[in-house]
Amino acid sequence: MLFEIILTLAVVIGGILAAIDKWVLEPKRASDAPMPVVMDYARSLFPVLLIVLVLRSFVVEPFRIPSGSMYPTLHIGDFILVNKASYGIKLPVVYTKVIDTGAPERGDVVVFRYPVEPDKDYIKRVVGLPGDRISYINKTLMINGELVKQQAVGRYETEGSGAVLNGTMELTEDLLGVTHNILIDKDRPPSDLIEAVVPEGHYFMVGDNRDHSYDSRYWGFVPEENLKGKAFFIWMHFDGGVNTDRIGKSIH
């Protein structure tokens, strides 16, 4: 959020300075007089900063995955792109929605502002929609009383920072029509949630690395206004080195 504030201020200040020079100072300046350094920088950088702000606020925003809560879907060191127009066009900094473009669907991988500390960005999977009854008992998810089916894949094996998860159990989960893989650590006690009803305008988010994710099971629901966008693409991976096998993968 700090970067977004700084970028927005730079665009506003640069735009004001560029306008002052263009319409006030330039007509009075001699043709052979040099442009003041500050005005030169303002007029040169303003269009670049404006393009960056527009793209980052309304089109796509890059993020780096810093933790292992979304293994096996997302790895530590993945650099991802997030579609900022997925759930509404919002003004930067104040996050006021100006155009409604849709709502999250169950199974979406979403970046959002952590409700407890809104300056922090989290990424999780949408499990519960408004009105859903969510239960998580003995490492098994239930939605509106319906058991979410799981099918074993086998022992999970990976490299890099995620190697600490080797030996955990990988399963394919059918999230009522949306299939994706999750990890279960049988050595960790279950984090049972008897039942939670998702309020209107809120969502229940859970990490795919079920026993190593700090998510809605612990701190509650994510309000709609905290949603930043849907993760859709891995454009780079660096975790002690570049892993080209992960570059270009879609996120689902």
Residue numbers annotated as active site: 69, 124
State the maximum Cα–Cα separation within the chain, in Å, rounded to a whole number: 78
CB 64 within 8 A of CB 46: no
CB atoms within 10 A of CB 145: 8
* CA separation for the pair 52, 45 (Å, rounded): 11
CB atoms within 10 A of CB 130: 16
Helix 37-54 to helix 2-20 angle, to the nearest 10 degrees? Answer: 130
Nearest 10 degrees: CA dihedral of 117, 118, 122, 126? 110
CB 139 within 8 A of CB 222: no
Q: How many CA atoms, within 13 angstroms, populate the side-chain half-sphere of residue 191?
A: 16
Q: Which residues pair with 9 in a beta bridge?
A: none
